[in-house]
Amino acid sequence: MIKLSYITSYLTCPRLCYYRIHFGEMSFTEMTAAREIYFSLRQGFDLEWAKKRAESLHDSFDFETFNRVAEKFVYVDHGYKSVEIDALIKSDALNLLVSVDEVVEVGDNELPLFLSLNPPEKGVWMKDLIKAGAASLAGGFREAMFYYAYTGELRRAEVTFGVRKRVLKLMERVKLLQKGFLPERRESGYCNYCSFKEDCESKPETFASKFL
């Protein structure tokens, strides 16, 4: 099964995707904390419950990370009816599993809502658009909503043919990594705090790596 987290990991770094597929990921990130805070506040609970929930669910829970996110988190109720929180959308035909932070009712339609941290100046981030594209392929949605945790802003984006096509191409690359192909090592700022840094630096590259 191809998870949405694998696709977004590939956008960050193909090797990060490889390691998460084969070894999992135990780190407690700002996004992890933001999701737990959003889930709790959206259902009428407080930050203390969000902290207890996160600590109970995540073995790698980090108080410092949680508190840092809690200080910056801005919760705004935009008035949309919640259909389901922390939903899973699955396509057996595409072997695709998409985790959606919330499904909301907008007019006569139900739309997936994804959490992000800070918004770009205009529109939405490409990584966010890729999430919307994956939800479109798995659940037939043509639009998606994005809640920016550090501003409380809500934005809406349409899923185009081009976005869906790009998601399918990313899925094809993820499939190769699931088969064991190791992608080329790429240096970026993410390397400084990647939990797989040591393993990555010790893994040799192959000729096939350069084509992933």
pLDDT digits (tens), the chain, 212 positions: 999 999 999 999 999 899 989 988 778 999 999 999 999 999 999 999 999 999 999 999 999 999 999 999 999 999 999 999 999 999 999 999 999 999 999 999 999 999 999 999 999 999 999 999 999 999 999 999 999 999 999 999 999 999 999 999 999 999 999 999 988 888 777 787 777 877 787 776 654 555 45
Contacts (Cβ under 8 Å, ≥6 apart) of 34: 69, 73, 115, 117, 149
- Domain 2-211 listed as CATH 1.20.120: no
Q: What is the DSSP string of 86-120?
A: EEEEEETTTTEEEEEEEEEEETTEEEEEEEESS--
What number of H helices and E strands is found in the chain? 8, 6
61: enclosing H helix or E strand: none
Q: What is the pLDDT of residue 174?
A: 97
